[in-house]
Amino acid sequence: MNGAPNPRLGFAGVGWIGRHRMNAIAATGEARIVAVADPDLDAARNAAAEVGAQAFGSFEELLDLDLDGIAIATPNALHASQSLAAFARGMAVFCQKPLGRSAAETRMVIDAARTADRLLGVDFSYRHTTAVEAMRAEIANGAIGDLYAADLVFHNAYGPDKAWFRDARLSGGGCLLDLGIHLVDLALWVFGAPVVRTTGRLFANGKPFTRGMGGVEDHALLQLDLADGAAVRVTCSWNLHAGADADIRATFYGTRGAVTMQNENGSFYDFTAARCEGTRRTTLASPPDAWGGRAAIAWMRRLAEDRGFDASIERVADVAAVLDSVYALHEPPSTRRALEQTA
Ligand SMILES: NC(=O)c1ccc[n+]([C@@H]2O[C@H](COP(=O)([O-])OP(=O)(O)OC[C@H]3O[C@@H](n4cnc5c(N)ncnc54)[C@H](O)[C@@H]3O)[C@@H](O)[C@H]2O)c1
């Protein structure tokens, strides 16, 4: 660090992930955590007590404080409106994924950050695993030749344990928006080429899924065609018969080899990565790896240096557009016809 003052931060939503990210930032000793807001006042007070912050029962109270930034980890439906409110007060934002329930909401937040010239970060936490970093480094140094295909998988055999995830108004979508978003982000980030065509199928409880009929999808299978000719397959689910707590894998195929990462023993947290040439396999990374808070910490450190807009966040809009195009295929026929007419 260059001696820049520690940023003054507020945390909105201190459920599972908000509290984890708050503690990860607190552990660095490089930020002043001033306030925590959650309508569950016990949760707010307990979290605030851990870091010596003030507790509030509403998000709006954070807006009246002198903060450099707010970390948002509330249900998905609130992400866009809370981000916009923070930018309107000149604060930077670190938001959990998804930034919005749709590409339009996502676009609105990115545009607001640019207009306010404030830093916007999104918690694409898997980018920061040592396994993904090792794969990216191998690809960048040409070790596997020219990339042409990838296969990414995220099955969570339990599914989320909070009811709002399965309420489309609050979540915006099911496993695709929850888990698939990480995979699409990784694929676009690694390839760097735009998507020219997306196809996909969504299921709920083993039946073809249609939006607006109640509930959300619990199994998604996508294929993305990229402008450079590469093909990407993405599969994700909740409550699948996965044979383990979780099955998380990403493999990138090149003309001279492949790089692959996989969770160990069904773990949500432990990953190995390897480079493969024919039948040979060379380990690139293995657990332990405390990666969960790294995206939040990177945002906080960048904020300490420079609170201005970082244009690299634009890629998040591309990810949202891919998800939107799959959801559009699963609108009821009347909505699809209307969408086609306005396209
Ligand atoms: N980046 C990742 O890898 C990752 C992992 C898990 C969850 N998430 C995301 O984090 C978000 C939260 O997920 P979770 O599992 O922690 O959910 P959660 O339900 O445990 O936590 C949400 C919290 O927000 C609070 N809340 C509700 N309305 C609020 C408001 N108006 N203002 C302030 N707080 C409010 C709730 O009381 C709750 O404590 C979701 O968007 C989810 O997609 C991201």
Going by pLDDT thresholds of 50, 70 and 90, the confidence category of residue 69 is very high
Does one domain contain both 39 and 138? no
75 CB within 6 A, ligand 1: yes
Answer for the pair 274, 260: CB distance below 8 angstroms, yes or no. yes
Going by pLDDT thresholds of 50, 70 and 90, the confidence category of residue 340 is confident
2: pLDDT strictly greater than 60: no
The number of the ligand 1 atom at minimal distance from the alpha carbon of 58 is: 32
Answer for the pair 83, 23: CB distance below 8 angstroms, yes or no. no
- Residue 220 vs residues 175, 200, 233: alpha-carbon distances, Å: 7, 7, 11
Q: Which of 23, 61, 62, 74 to mutate to test the pocket of ligand 1 (most atoms within 8 A of CB)?
A: 74
CB atoms within 10 A of CB 228: 13
Residue 24 lies inside a defined structural domain of this protein: yes
pLDDT at 343: 67
1: pLDDT strictly greater than 70: no
Q: What's the whole-number average pLDDT of the chain?
A: 96
192 CB within 6 A, ligand 1: no
Going by pLDDT thresholds of 50, 70 and 90, the confidence category of residue 338 is confident
Does one domain contain both 164 and 144? yes
CATH number of the domain to which 77 belongs:
3.40.50.720
73 CB within 6 A, ligand 1: yes
16 CB within 6 A, ligand 1: yes
Does one domain contain both 116 and 176? no
Q: Which of 45, 22, 48 is nearest to 35 (CA)?
A: 48
Domain limits at 42? 8-125+293-310
For residue range 237-260, list pLDDT tens digits in order.
Answer: 999 999 999 999 999 999 999 999
121 CB within 6 A, ligand 1: no
41 CB within 6 A, ligand 1: no
Tokens of 292: 């969960």
Question: Which residue's CA lies nearest to atom 38 of ligand 1?
Answer: 15
Does one domain contain both 155 and 196? yes
Q: How many structural domains does the chain have? A: 2
For residue range 178-216, list pLDDT tens digits in order.
Answer: 999 999 999 999 999 999 999 999 999 999 999 988 899
308 CB within 6 A, ligand 1: no
For residue range 95-117, list pLDDT tens digits in order.
Answer: 999 999 999 999 999 999 999 99
Does one domain contain both 134 and 282? yes
CATH number of the domain to which 217 belongs:
3.30.360.10
Beta bridge partners of 260: 251, 274
| Span from the CA of 75 to the centroid of ligand 1 (angstroms) | 5
Give dist(CA 175, CA 216) in Å, integer.
Answer: 8
129 CB within 6 A, ligand 1: no
Beta bridge partners of 247: 155
